[in-house]
Amino acid sequence: MSIHIGAKPGAIAETVLLPGDPLRAKFIAENFLEDAVGYNEVRGMYGFTGFYKGERISVQGTGMGIPSISIYVNELITQYGVKRLIRTGTCGSLQENVKVKDVILAMAVSHDSNINAQRFPGMTYAPTADFALLQQAYAAAAKLGIKPKVGNVLTSDTFYHDDPDYWKRWAAYGVLAVEMETAGLYTLAAKYGVQALTIVTVSDHLVTGEATTAEERQTTFTQMMNIALETVK
């Protein structure tokens, strides 16, 4: 057991899917994995291990924001030997041509994270996806008939910004969408020499104001799960 994950040694696979929402972790385990067994309920942050087409895979909720995902990613890598981490999350589109329910592969990530600002004082680190995983995910998506957007996303520490137009600067520089964890995930994966990729589905649109319901976010964004699972099978 680690401080925040109640799993026995060996109970977590080397490949882990990471949704922010623990109920999405449960949904993935129940609908996409065979013989899934729960290994964590600490803080209600569900974790399960099962099989997808014979490949042993775990799925672990991470909570929201870099501080929360960093706790799980640190413990998964350093205490459970996890080697491949794929975030399956939601995001807000910053571009007219990136529509609600589109899937994005985060090739790189911009951020306003104070955690990385403290980690690299006076310097700027550019967190990026693992190239092999990115390539495999793009190929897997093509085989599934899905054409994901690929590019730069924004990881923000803040969901409710004081300035409602804060995102427009990022949008002007081609950033596709905003979420809250990928900069932390990619930075820790680089630190520990393991593979990471973020696949996100657009749940709402900052340009048009469109939005999806919590239930849709939990249960209908299945393309990204299929891409993630086909990537690592």
Ligand X SMILES: O=c1cc[nH]c(=O)[nH]1
User: Which residues sit at the interface with ligand X, rule CB under 6 A?
Assistant: 90-92, 159, 178-180, 203-204
**In whole angstroms, how far apart are CA 177 and each of 41, 95, 172, 199, 225?**
31, 7, 12, 12, 19
| Residue placing its CB nearer to ligand X in the complex, 90 or 95 | 90
21 part of the interface to ligand R1P, by CB under 6 A: yes
| Residue placing its CB nearer to ligand R1P in the complex, 51 or 128 | 128
CA 110, chain centre distance (Å): 15
Indicate if 112 belongs to the active site: no
Longest dimension (CA), the chain: 48
20 part of the interface to ligand R1P, by CB under 6 A: yes
181 part of the interface to ligand R1P, by CB under 6 A: yes
Query: Residue 64, annotated ligand binder?
Result: no
Q: What is the dihedral of CA 54, 145, 108, 233, to 10 degrees?
A: 10
Region near ligand R1P per CB under 6 A, out of 44-52, 134-142, 144-152, 177-185: 177-185
Placement of tokens 């520490």 in the chain? 157
23 part of the interface to ligand R1P, by CB under 6 A: no
Binding site partner of 178, from ligand X, ligand R1P, none, Cβ cut-off 5-8 A by kind: ligand X
Residues 111-170 that bind ligand R1P (CB under 6 A): 159
| CB contact at 8 A, 205 and 92 | yes
| Residue placing its CB nearer to ligand X in the complex, 91 or 194 | 91
| Residue placing its CB nearer to ligand X in the complex, 20 or 50 | 20
Q: Given the residues 35, 112, 165, 204, select the one marked as catalytic.
A: 204
Rounded CA separation 191/113 (Å): 17
Query: Residue 130, annotated ligand binder?
Result: no
**In whole angstroms, how far apart are CA 64 and each of 43, 61, 87, 154?**
13, 9, 12, 14
Helix (H, G, I), strand (E, B) or coil at 166: coil
Q: What residues contact 229, with CB distance under 8 A and at least 6 apart? A: 17, 32, 52, 53, 57
Contacting positions for ligand R1P (CB under 6 A):
19-21, 64, 89-90, 159, 179-181
Mind telling me the catalytic residues? 204
Q: Which residue positions form the known binding site?
A: 4, 20, 24, 43, 179-181, 203-204
Q: Which residue positions form the known binding site for phosphate?
A: 20, 24, 43
